[in-house]
Structure formats: structure tokens, C-alpha cells
Amino acid sequence: MTQVEASEMTVEELQALLKEKTEKQRKEREKARKAYESGRDMEIQDLMSEASYLTERLEAFKKKCHERMDTQAVKLAEYGELRSNSKGGFTIKHSKGNLAITRIRSTNPYWDERSAKAVELIKDFLYDTVKKRDVKTFEMLMSFLAKNKNGDMEYSKVFILIQHEQMWDDKRWQEGIRLLKESYSVNLRGYGYEFKSLDEQGKWENLKLNFTAL
């Protein structure tokens, strides 16, 4: 429509034309929205369906791994190739030396309520006695009690602290170390598995069974 034609129209006609164009635009947007949502929903359903299938397959595969590796653990123990101090984790290799499967023991370290009292006693002793004599030793020992981002003490650090148990005979120090040792336990979450093969350079390469590793 030219500017002249528009100028010759009445107000009512212009309003009707604007309403018609507005309605047309609304229908076009609605059509585009429905087309987008329909395509999106199809993609979601397709990917979710495949994800569900893969989840079922992975669950079945993990169950199979548990059963087969439990059997291998028994055979290794009978054959004398499983360490007596093994807590469930071990590796089996193909006779050609190019394939290996490792069962990893997955645990949750846990500190019970006694750990809070232990830390209180140890810190009281360190501030009251050690800090006055040797600031560097004080800071080092305090760092072993530091908590990680999850709010838990790390056993590897606390273990170093425990190794210094005989350094002082102060009751606070001795009682704190005792409570630390008693408050710690490990809960078995289950077992994870690594599947490895030797590449052309003779290096072990993990099969990537999770998205983040791909």
C-alpha cells in the first residue's frame, strides 16, 4: 500500500487494516512457536528414550561386572595372586598384556560426632602451647585439621597428624588424637571399574564410559 492510498483511507479503515496485520503477525508467531516447541519436544523424547535405553544397558553391564569380578576375586584368592591386605580393589590383565580391567573400591570417609571434640582439644593445646614456641610447627599442624570444600577433614592429612601422637604427652593432645582415631570410619559405596587397552605407543588408554571423559 502506497502512502497516497493510506492517506485516502478513513480512520476506521486504517484501524481495521492495522488489526488485520496485527492478527496476521500473531498467527505467524504462534505458528513459529508451535513449530519450535514441536521440534524441541521430538528431540527431547528421542534423546530421553535413547538415554533410558543406555541407562538400562549400563546398569545391566555393571551388574555383570560385579558378578564376573566377584568370581575373579575368589579365583585370585585361591590362586594366591590377590594381596592379603586387599579390600576389594584389584586388576586383572589379559595374557597378551594389552588389556586390563581394574575394580576400584569406592568409599565414603566419615567422621562422627567425636571428631568435633577431638579438634577442639587439639586446637586448644596447639594455641596454648605450640604456637608460643614454634609458629611454623603450629601452622603446619593446624593445616592438617583444615576442612575441604565439602566441609570434611581429609584423612590423608589427619593421618599425618596422628603420626605425631608421641610428640607431646599433654592430656588435650593425647585425648584429641585418640578421639580422632576412634571417630573415623569408612563406608563402602560400591565398586567402580576401569577398562584399559594399550595404544600404539605402549601407553594404557582408558575406555571412556562417561560423557565428561569424551
Rounded Cα distance between 88 and 64, Å, is: 16
> Which residue among 33, 50, 82 closes a domain?
82
Give the pLDDT confidence of 154-201 residue by residue, as tens digits: 888 999 999 999 999 999 999 999 999 999 998 878 888 899 999 888
Range of the domain at 104: 92-214
Whole-prediction pTM value? 0.59
Q: Return the exposure string of 73-86: e unless at least 16 CB atoms fall within 10 Å of the residue's CB, then b.
A: beebeeeeebeeee
Q: How far is CA 132 from CA 13, 83, 118, 138, 143, in A?
A: 93, 47, 21, 9, 17
Assess whether 213 and 110 both reside in one domain. Answer: yes
| Residues 214 and 115 both lie in one domain | yes
CA 48, 53, 58, 59: dihedral to nearest 10 degrees? 100
